[in-house]
């Protein structure tokens, strides 16, 4: 497993992270096997959120990893907060309460990273700044970031927060590549030229913010996976050919496509299948050529002007 530095932190992390959203209902032995496999493959970064399984995902993970001081020193823990039923909440009271719950469920004294989980329309950045300072001063959170935020939303928070926002978690995949496509189609009148995210990719690169792609195998908004899907025959034909060429599974090629981008993104793999996780990790052994990267991009239906 290759590693990278999350800029403006002292965190050296695996290039692929394990997303723990779906482990809430895993039997103890299955969860333990998954976490053990991740560690054996060199994954040291585990992504959580207080809403995953209503908090149970964090509890299951803590037991599966056999959390103790020795284990804690070897892993990087990230969690998210701010989503509540039918609304968002970045209030001081809610964030502080959420973090206390997260720490209790993960059986740890601190988080390496806390992300604000989707924008709150009623955000008061001064209050967020005060809250971050409390969390940092207390040692409960080392670093901070956001999820699904655009550049101006980040700028608004950063105006008041003394802590650098170092991560932005965004949906990104071969079939969900708008943040790339609008840059390729500059000055065009096609739909792909529409910039719906404020040039978030270039912004994050300029600001040294690590992008963490979520749902790297999905198309649409949880409509399904594109791999082995009859809706994407040309794309799967190209991916399967390259998988055979590099002697890996198709999942590895899909992740290698993300890793090939010079932004040094850190994709979140949300599988609960240990063998599938092993297959995904082989992406770090694949260095797609520029021609192969663009061939995959075009095969997904993305146009080159």
* Residues catalogued as catalytic: 52
State the Cα–Cα distance between residues 81 and 60, nearest whole angstrom: 18
Residue closest to 58 by CA, chosen among 86, 77, 41: 77
DSSP H/E element including 81? strand 76-81
Q: Roughly how many angstroms between the first and final C-alpha of the chain, as a whole number? A: 36
Q: Which ranges of the chain does DSSP label H, i.e. alpha helix?
A: 28-40, 56-64, 69-74, 92-106, 125-137, 151-160, 178-184, 200-206, 233-246, 250-259, 274-281, 290-299
Q: Concatenated DSSP letters for 191-237?
A: GGG--SSSSHHHHHHHTTPEEEEE-TTEETTTTEE-TT-TT-HHHHH
Paired with 12 in beta bridges are 5
In the β-sheet with 17-19, what is the strand arrangement from edge to edge?
210-214, 165-171, 141-147, 111-117, 76-81, 45-47, 17-19, 268-269
DSSP state of 83: E
State the Cα–Cα distance between residues 94 and 82, nearest whole angstrom: 8
CA atoms within 13 A on the CB side of 6: 28
State the Cα–Cα distance between residues 16 and 285, nearest whole angstrom: 12
State the Cα–Cα distance between residues 38 and 16, nearest whole angstrom: 10
**209 near 179, Cβ under 8 Å?**
no
State the Cα–Cα distance between residues 1 and 45, nearest whole angstrom: 12
């Amino acid at each position: 497993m290759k590693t990278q530095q999350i800029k403006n932190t002292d965190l050296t992390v695996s290039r692929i992270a394990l997303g723990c959203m779906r482990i809430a209902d895993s039997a103890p032995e299955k969860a333990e096997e998954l976490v053990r496999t991740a560690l054996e493959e060199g994954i040291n970064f585990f992504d959580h959120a207080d809403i995953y399984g209503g908090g149970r995902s964090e509890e299951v993970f803590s037991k599966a990893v056999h959390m103790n001081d020795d284990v804690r020193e070897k892993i990087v823990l990230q969690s998210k907060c701010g989503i509540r039923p039918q609304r968002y909440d970045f209030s001081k009271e809610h964030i502080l309460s959420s973090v206390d719950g997260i720490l209790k469920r993960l059986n740890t004294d601190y988080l390496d990273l806390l992300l604000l989980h989707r924008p709150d329309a009623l955000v008061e950045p001064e209050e967020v700044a005060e809250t971050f300072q409390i969390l940092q001063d207390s040692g409960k959170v080392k670093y901070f970031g956001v999820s699904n935020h655009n550049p101006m939303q980040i700028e608004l928070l950063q105006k008041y927060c003394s802590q650098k926002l170092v991560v932005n978690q965004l949906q990104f995949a071969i079939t969900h590549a708008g943040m790339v496509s609008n840059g390729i189609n500059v000055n065009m009148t096609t739909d792909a030229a529409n910039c719906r995210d404020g040039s978030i990719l270039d912004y994050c690169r300029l600001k040294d913010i690590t992008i963490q792609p979520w749902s790297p195998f999905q198309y649409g908004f949880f409509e399904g996976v594109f791999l082995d899907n009859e809706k994407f025959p040309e794309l799967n034909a190209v991916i399967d050919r390259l998988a055979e060429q590099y002697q890996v599974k198709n999942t590895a090629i899909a992740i290698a496509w993300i890793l090939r981008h010079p932004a040094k993104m850190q994709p979140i793999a949300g599988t609960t299948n240990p063998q599938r996780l092993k297959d995904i990790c082989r992406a770090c052994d694949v260095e797609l050529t520029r021609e192969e990267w663009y061939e995959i991009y075009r095969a997904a239906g993305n146009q080159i002007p």
